């Protein structure tokens, strides 16, 4: 074993301990402050709220001080949280099922792989409603929801409040389906402060929380903000003010620049996949546009940060906070200049697959970070476990409750990530900005695995990337062809082979077998 590869040594030594979630290996965890939250209300089952942003990179969290304090300061933050498929529609389907895309079948944001291919497969709200929970959705749903039938209320939801069709990507002028009845909110061109999407979704969520309180029924609330996603175009729109923050924040961050990370406008991409090698470097105008986009994105998060604070205050005022778990996350990350991508997701690099992930609530330690690797495939089983509901066999992920209760515990894990088949015709991967066509800028399909210290990616054309994340966290140089990493590459290739088609409990078994295989 090569010196300088500590993660794979721990990965090997812990192999025999990971057959169950209870077998763990303790690693250092930074405890920011001690003291558990107040215990749950003994009179009723807990409520659960999942707040999801759209296309939010983890490096943007410093722009959300209220969220960091009210949720991170009252709960557990997971800095090593990832999505299994870094694209809006597949990721949201994973959130609602606890399944990888190869099982739930949603592979893209466009037909035939968007909402229509998912309809009726919702596991999380259906199970909770069957167990007596009021299930509430407010905000963006899966892409193209409402395009066929804008009055449809998807399976499993007791109360439904979602923007329909293309209007789901407007900050003003969207049409909402309120339990089967449609209502228009302003016009895109007007930018009326009373019809700003983040504020509208916040107010509906607060109203729904209070209604559930009156009914005396435990509730699950899925609250999905559009921010900081870019906006669908409309006549006369100024693209430098896209996405639009709340009008009250219009003058914020005038001099802000996108982070100039090591991989920003990467000079040498010869080690990257074929599609990445076709992307040219930035020109001055491109960098200025990127900075304008970054400023606009951060402005939208100010409204979300305020919404989180108002929701927490509502829970406190209604005497619900002591009995409510709150999860904050995003559907995927976002690249802003890294590896030459102007503004992008979908690809398997860290900025794209890593997301914010915070859980706060009764009985949890405060101001704690868990170093455990987690995935969005774990959200459904975690929510069900927090609610005291049995986890269905078809769920691929695992409950994170043991790590919420004891954040210092960890176990070695292999996370699967993947893409999927996309429409065969040319289309825009990033249609709200410049054209970035799939066949020109990325490889169509990939699957890979990520451990604490390594990332291994196989592309459909046979190209392989391998990154030593300890030595090279910015993924500047693939070591797939480095003789010193031959053994690591074989181990991770074998792990991917075991996990690429797994289903349900077999996913956990495959992961344990992959870890155990490192002993061979």
| SS percent in the chain: helix, strand, coil, step 5 | 35, 15, 50
Q: What is the pLDDT of residues 87-110, one digit of tens each?
A: 999 999 999 999 999 999 998 888
Q: β-strands 446-450, 415-418: how paired? A: antiparallel
Check 88, 89, 502, 507 and give the catalytic one: 88
Say which residue the tokens 């956990």 belong to: 508
Q: Does position 75 have pLDDT exceeding 60, yes or no?
A: yes
Question: What is the percentage of the chain residues whose pLDDT exceeds 90?
Answer: 76
pTM (2 d.p.): 0.90
CB atoms within 10 A of CB 162: 27
Q: What is the pLDDT of residues 184-223, one digit of tens each?
A: 999 988 889 999 999 999 999 999 999 999 999 999 999 9
Predicted pLDDT at 23:
31
Confidence bin at 264 (pLDDT 50/70/90): very high
DSSP alpha helix (H) spans, 157-283: 197-215
Task: For the sheet with 47-53, list strands across it.
Answer: 181-185, 174-178, 159-163, 134-139, 219-224, 47-53, 324-330, 357-360, 75-77, 368-369
For residue 150, give both structure tokens. Answer: 């804008």
Domains in the chain, CATH or no CATH each: 45-407 (3.40.720.10)
Between the CA atoms of 36, 375, 274 and 421, what dihedral angle is there, to the nearest 10 degrees? -150
Cis peptide before 228 (omega within 30 of 0): yes
Task: Give the residue among 484, 505, 491 at the shortest CA–CA distance from 449.
Answer: 491
Q: Phi/psi zone of residue 208: left (φ > 0), alpha (ψ -120 to 50 degrees), beta? A: alpha
Predicted pLDDT at 244:
94
Is 502 catalytic? The answer is no
DSSP alpha helix (H) spans, 108-223: 115-118, 124-130, 197-215
More confident residue, 89 or 24: 89
* Residue 262 Cα distances to 259, 266, 268, 354, 475, angstroms: 9, 7, 12, 17, 9
């Amino acid at each position: 074993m090569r010196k300088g590869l500590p993660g794979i040594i721990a990965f090997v030594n812990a192999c025999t301990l990971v057959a169950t979630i209870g077998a763990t290996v303790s690693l250092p965890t930074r405890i920011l402050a001690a003291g558990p939250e107040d215990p749950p209300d003994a009179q009723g089952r807990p409520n659960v709220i999942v707040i999801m942003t759209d296309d939010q990179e983890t490096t943007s969290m410093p722009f959300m001080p209220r969220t960091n304090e009210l949720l991170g300061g009252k709960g557990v933050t997971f800095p090593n949280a990832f999505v299994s498929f870094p694209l809006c529609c597949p990721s949201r389907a994973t959130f609602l099922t606890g399944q990888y895309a190869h099982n739930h079948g949603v592979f893209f944001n466009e037909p035939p792989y968007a909402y229509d291919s998912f309809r009726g497969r919702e596991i999380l709200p259906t199970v909770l409603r069957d167990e007596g929970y009021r299930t509430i959705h407010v905000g963006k749903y899966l892409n193209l929801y409402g395009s066929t039938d804008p009055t449809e209320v998807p399976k499993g939801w007791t109360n439904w409040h979602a923007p329909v069709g293309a209007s789901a990507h407007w900050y003003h002028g969207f049409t909402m389906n309120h339990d089967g009845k449609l209502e228009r909110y302003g016009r895109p061109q007007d930018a009326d402060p009373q019809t700003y999407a983040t504020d509208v979704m916040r107010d509906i969520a607060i109203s729904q929380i209070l209604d559930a309180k009156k009914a005396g029924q435990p509730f699950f609330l899925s609250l999905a903000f559009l921010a900081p996603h870019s906006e669908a175009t409309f006549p006369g729109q100024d693209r430098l003010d896209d996405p639009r923050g709340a009008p009250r924040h219009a003058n914020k961050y005038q001099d802000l620049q996108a982070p100039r990370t090591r991989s920003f406008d990467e000079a040498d991409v010869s080690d990257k996949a074929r599609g990445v090698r076709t992307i040219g470097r930035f020109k001055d105008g491109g960098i200025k546009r990127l900075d304008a986009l970054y400023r606009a994105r951060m402005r939208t998060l100010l409204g979300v940060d305020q919404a989180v604070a108002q929701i927490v205050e509502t829970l406190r005022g209604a005497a619900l906070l002591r009995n409510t778990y709150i999860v904050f996350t995003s559907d995927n990350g976002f690249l802003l200049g890294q590896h030459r991508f102007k503004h992008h997701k979908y690809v398997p690099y860290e900025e794209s697959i890593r997301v914010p992930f915070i859980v706060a609530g009764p009985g949890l330690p405060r101001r704690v970070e868990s170093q455990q690797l987690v995935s969005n495939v774990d959200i459904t089983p975690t929510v069900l476990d927090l609610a005291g509901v049995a986890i269905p066999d078809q769920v691929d992920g695992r409950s994170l409750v043991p790590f919420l209760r004891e954040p210092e515990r960890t176990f070695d894990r292999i996370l699967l990530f993947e893409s999927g088949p996309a429409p065969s015709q040319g289309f825009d991967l990033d249609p709200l900005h410049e054209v970035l066509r799939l066949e020109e800028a990325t490889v169509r399909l990939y699957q890979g695995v990520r451990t604490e210290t390594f990332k291994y990616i196989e592309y459909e054309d046979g190209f392989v990337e391998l990154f030593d994340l300890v030595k090279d966290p910015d993924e500047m140089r693939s070591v797939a062809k480095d003789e010193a990493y031959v053994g690591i590459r074989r181990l991770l290739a074998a792990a991917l082979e075991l996990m690429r088609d797994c289903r349900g409990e077999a996913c956990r078994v495959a992961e344990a077998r992959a870890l155990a295989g490192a002993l061979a």
